[in-house]
Amino acid sequence: MKISIYPTNDDMSKAAADLVAAQLAEKPNSLIVFPSGESPSGMLRYLVQYANDGKVDFSQCTIIGLDEWVGMDERDYGSCKHYLHTNFFNHLDLDPERVVMFDAKAGDLEGECERINNFIGSHGGLDIMIVGIGMNGHLGLNEPGTPFDLYAHLSELAPITVEVGQKYFKQETVLTQGITLGLKHLQEAKMAVLIASGEKKATIVAESLQGHVGTDVPASVLQNIPHARVLLDKGAASELEHIS
């Protein structure tokens, strides 16, 4: 696990975008997982800028969505799909066939998990899987207690996830379940990337990266991934020990 610390969130975001750009330059048809939420917003802005400037080409890659609130799609403000469409896809010349996301309104959600698992497996596995970290250490919607060996699955949302998740909506919204790629996907990705910013994430970042490895803190699985990359700004790294 390589931990890189940057002075600001903007510096961290640019570094994350540069990782994606380098991957696409090396392998244009890469399979890449992008998360939604606050953490990736700067990275996505840089990638849109790079694409508009001709510095990166998304035309041959395939993008996989990390997760979604069950019962929502891109028409629902606050959904993961809505976020990625609004902040990323709508600003790029993307073939819709190259965007693969969970249908969280599907009648057979277990079948959706199987569809995504099969898609990733049949396309040679993930090249980059980028995740943020929740206040309880969740990655995607892999909540505390999630086994490390799960692929895509349904999750019961933790109370803190429901509480924090309200910031994405215009009004209080009932959130009960999520559908998400699994921690096994992260471990098998050719490059697993965690991005985090801000002092509010410092405690859980330190616990995840330097504490006990166990399912009570899902992000601690990163300690089991030798090739993982962790990109932090100074605030998020402020409670780490012995890191320069």
* DSSP SS3 for 25: helix
Please say if 138 is a catalytic residue: yes
- pLDDT grade for 51, boundaries at 50, 70 and 90: very high
136 included as an active-site residue: yes
Q: Helices 41-52 and 80-87 meet at what angle, rounded to 10?
A: 40
What tens digit of pLDDT does each residue of 192-225 get? 999 999 999 999 999 999 999 999 999 999 999 9
Considering the segment(s) 2-233 as one domain, its CATH architecture is 3-Layer(aba) Sandwich (3.40)
Active site residue 143: yes
Cα–Cα distance between 24 and 6 in angstroms, integer? 23
Catalytic residue selected from 11, 18, 136, 216: 136
Q: Note whether 200 and 164 are within 8 A (CB).
A: no
Q: Is the pLDDT of residue 244 over 60?
A: no
Residue-range domain boundaries for the chain? 2-233
Task: Tell me which of 138, 142, 153, 233 is the catalytic residue.
Answer: 138
Burial profile 175-212: b = 16 or more Cβ within 10 angstroms, e = fewer: bebbbbbbbbbbbbbebbbbbbbbeebbebbbbbbeee
Tens-digit pLDDT profile for residues 62-92: 999 999 999 988 888 988 999 999 999 999 9
d(CA 37, CA 189) in angstroms, rounded, equals: 21
Q: What's the mean per-residue pLDDT of the chain?
A: 95
Whether residue 115 has pLDDT greater than 90: yes
| C-alpha dist (Å) from residue 47 to 34, 58, 129, 188 | 12, 10, 16, 24
- In angstroms, rounded to a whole number, what is the distance separating the alpha carbons of residues 153 and 158? 15
As given in the structure block, the two tokens for residue 127 are: 């090249």
pTM (predicted TM-score): 0.94
Question: Does residue 117 have an active-site annotation?
Answer: no
Q: Which of 9, 67, 82, 185 is catalytic?
A: 67
Identify the active-site residue in 68, 143, 153, 185: 143
Cβ(152)–Cβ(179) below 8 Å: yes
